[in-house]
Amino acid sequence: MELKLCSLLLHLLLLLPLLVGATHNYGDALSKSILFFEGQRSGRLPPDQRVRWRRDSAISDGSEAGVDLEGGYYDAGDNVKFGFPMAFTTTMLAWSVIEFGELMPFDELRNAATAVRWASDYLLKTIAYPNRLFIQVGDPIRDHNCWERPEDMDTLRTVYSVSSEKPGSDVAGETAAALSAASMALRQIDAGYADRLLEGAFKAFEFADTYRGAYSDDPELKAGGCPFYCDFDGYQDELLWGAAWLRRASQNDSFLNYIQNNGKTLGADDNINEFGWDNKHAGLNILVSKEFLEGKVFSLQSYKESADSFMCTLVPESSSPHIQYTPGGLIYKPGGSNMQHVTSIAFLLLTYANYLSRTSQYVNCGSIAISPASLRAQAKKQVDYILGDNPSKMSYMVGYGDKFPQRIHHRGSSLPSIANHSEFIACKEGTIYFNSSNPNPNPLIGAIVGGPGEDDIYEDDRADFRKSEPTTYINAPLVGVLAYFAANPNL
């Protein structure tokens, strides 16, 4: 009897961390993180559209230049289609499916694939003409000057493109990466379509590499894309990134040779610990080191070393300089929309952990070796912070948990829906809704906002776009991360 009680107590003690540590409903968060992309859709919406407060919008995009550029995603809380971050979003959504798709419930895998395809269909349109790539639709100054639903949009839909005379190796290189990754993510569902994507990727890469330059060096394109999505760090990283994705998707040695022959001149050794729509270095190091870890290509060792040195800045055990955290434990980089860094770094932590554990290897941090489990624990802390384990005790995903952002900086979400208010709401007529302190009438379920400041404080203020605006590239890497934790809630 006593023995039984003892063992019961022991069991309870073992269970305690589980009971107290109230794990999150990662599966629910996963579904919502994918649903978010339906709210960002541009163009004609299909009958199975689940976000019902949205309607068709921008259906004649491209007509200004006599081409079809309908579709794609609005990048954030405005109604512009910026090609550079849209391509990066596509790469990350596809990479989420490639690494973690097999862990997703069937319905969510299908929804994630649909979200990838919505973007890749658009990217194929942007490369439909030789030696030209359409990089943006919408005049951002005019657009940002209005608080207008996408369905009402009457601002200039200026079409911007790069060409042999005005090169854009950054956008073209990222487009090559996106189409390659999408071809891998969608191959099982539709092999013919995957082949088309891969052909498009070849084409985009050839264009990027032949006509080298940054799009924001051109005055007209600079006026269009900057200051929103200027190419600040140069196009070199996107050439390597595009080649690395083409290598992975096609297994063609010519891209491996490209990486080996051009790595130095294109700055592979710069070893910059950044990963986002502008800077691909940290992601490139992890992607490329996979082949080295698998023991296939020894000459790629330096990529593993660079990947390790980034990982060492993320784990407390190492003695290297560490990345900045808020007092509550959130990765923090100044500059606004901080969650983009959090989700992309969490993605890299998990992806690298998988590459290492499948090949029984470790992160080398000088005198100590860091295990894949330690990387996963760091990723989990970040995700749990996003979902509610934080000083404000709120979730930063709209519609997840009991307390979440109510006044996100998002035109469609904050204006009355067409269903409730079919009359046109003109550019400046939207200001009263922008200024209102009421919650948004149309919750954009699954949207992750830019997030709290370096003091963990979040005011839920619609005007404060650095904190309250969602973006597609915040959500895209999180899709993979949530798939991992939905399948492994306790790591």
Ligand X SMILES: *[C@@H]1O[C@H](CO)[C@@H](O)[C@H](O)[C@H]1NC(C)=O
Per CB under 6 A, 254 contacts ligand X? yes
Q: Which two tokens stand for residue 471?
A: 């973006």
Q: Which helix (H) or strand (E) holds 160?
A: strand 159-163
Instruction: Name the minimum Å distance from CB 419 to ligand X.
Output: 4
Q: CA–CA separation, 279 vs 244, rounded Å?
A: 15
Q: Rounded to the nearest 10 degrees, how much is the dihedral formed by the CA atoms of 324, 326, 329, 330?
A: -80
Write the interaction track for ligand X spanning residues 83-112; mark x where CB under 6 A is met and - where it is not: ------------------------------
- How many residues bind to ligand X according to rule CB under 6 A? 10
Piece of the chain touching ligand X by CB under 6 A; list 166-174, 389-397, 429-437, 470-478: 429-437
Evaluate whether 293 touches 300 at the Cβ level (below 8 Å). no
Site for ligand X in 41-80 (CB under 6 A): 53
Identity of the residue, 176 or 182, whose beta carbon is nearer to ligand X in the bound complex: 176
Per CB under 6 A, 10 contacts ligand X? no
Work out which of 145, 299, 431, 488 binds ligand X, going by CB under 6 A.
431
Per CB under 6 A, 417 contacts ligand X? yes
The label of the residue with tokens 């339906």 reads: 38
Instruction: Name the minimum Å distance from CB 411 to ligand X.
Output: 15
Piece of the chain touching ligand X by CB under 6 A; list 21-29, 272-280, 299-307, 427-435: 427-435
Q: Which two tokens stand for residue 196?
A: 């088309």
Q: Rounded to the nearest 10 degrees, how much is the dihedral formed by the CA atoms of 437, 441, 447, 451?
A: 10
Instruction: Name the minimum Å distance from CB 12 to ligand X.
Output: 44
Per CB under 6 A, 435 contacts ligand X? yes
- Residue 249 makes CB contacts below 8 A (sequence gap 6+) with 180, 181, 183, 184, 198, 201
- Active-site residues: which are they? 409, 460, 469
Site for ligand X in 185-214 (CB under 6 A): none
Work out which of 323, 441, 464, 487 binds ligand X, going by CB under 6 A.
441
Identity of the residue, 246 or 479, whose beta carbon is nearer to ligand X in the bound complex: 246
Evaluate whether 158 touches 224 at the Cβ level (below 8 Å). yes
Closest CA to 187 of 103, 107, 101, 296: 101
Work out which of 23, 49, 114, 252 binds ligand X, going by CB under 6 A.
252
Piece of the chain touching ligand X by CB under 6 A; list 15-23, 90-98, 286-294, 412-420: 412-420
Work out which of 6, 16, 18, 419 binds ligand X, going by CB under 6 A.
419
Identity of the residue, 299 or 431, whose beta carbon is nearer to ligand X in the bound complex: 431
Piece of the chain touching ligand X by CB under 6 A; list 10-18, 85-93, 166-174, 416-424: 416-424
Instruction: Name the minimum Å distance from CB 442 to ligand X.
Output: 7
Evaluate whether 483 touches 350 at the Cβ level (below 8 Å). no
* Cross-strand pairs, 136: 82, 160
Task: Give the ranges where 263-300 is alpha helix by DSSP (H).
Answer: 281-293
Work out which of 10, 432, 457, 491 binds ligand X, going by CB under 6 A.
432
Task: Give the ranges where 151-190 is alpha helix by DSSP (H).
Answer: 169-186
Beta strand pairing call for 363-365 and 81-82: unpaired
Piece of the chain touching ligand X by CB under 6 A; list 9-17, 185-193, 339-347, 428-436: 428-436
Closest CA to 163 of 207, 202, 200: 207
Q: CA–CA separation, 482 vs 92, rounded Å?
A: 13
Provide the residue count of the chain: 491
The label of the residue with tokens 């006509």 reads: 211
Per CB under 6 A, 164 contacts ligand X? no
DSSP letters for 36-80:
HHHHTB-BPPPTT-S-TT---B-TTTTGGGTS-----B--SSSS-
Instruction: Name the minimum Å distance from CB 115 to ligand X.
Output: 23
Closest CA to 125 of 75, 161, 79, 88: 161
Write the interaction track for ligand X spanning residues 358-397; mark x where CB under 6 A is met and - where it is not: ----------------------------------------
Site for ligand X in 278-307 (CB under 6 A): none
Work out which of 301, 319, 359, 420 binds ligand X, going by CB under 6 A.
420
* Residues engaged in binding ligand X (CB under 6 A): 53, 252, 254, 417, 419-420, 431-432, 435, 441
